Amino acid sequence: MPPDIQGCVYKFVPNNPALSSVVIKVLKRAFQTHSLPMPLVKQVVERALEQSRTMDMKVESSSFEEKLFAYANQVRPRFIAQLNDLRRQGKKW
């Protein structure tokens, strides 16, 4: 069984609970599924880390979350085949 979203995010961001909670919330809201492909999670986490490093962006702000949500929706078409495969695997369990 593939790992859930929270486990994948904690794998890439183990020491930043504020950032990881925002990324988990954005991924769950954007994809509305229990598990996601690891490359997709990694790409969104890397984007969140880039955004958090800029001086004018706070992790707790709603603008940070909205920009990350927009990015997650933007990369969705790249991973649509993998998402469909995970959905099919989930029906077999």
Higher local confidence (pLDDT), 89 or 29: 29
Whether the CB-CB separation of 3 and 36 falls below 8 Å is answered with no
CA torsion sign, 24 to 28 to 34 to 39?
Answer: negative
Q: How far is CA 7 from CA 31, 48, 51, in A?
A: 16, 17, 21
Sorting pLDDT into bands at 50, 70 and 90, what band is 34? confident
Predicted confidence (pLDDT) at residue 46 exceeds the cutoff of 60: yes
| Domain containing residue 58 | 5-92
pLDDT in the model for residue 47: 94
Split at pLDDT 50, 70, 90, the class of 92 is: low
The count of structural domains within the chain is 1
For 33-64, give the DSSP string. Answer: SS---HHHHHHHHHHHHHHHHSTT--TTSHHH
Model confidence pTM above 0.85: yes
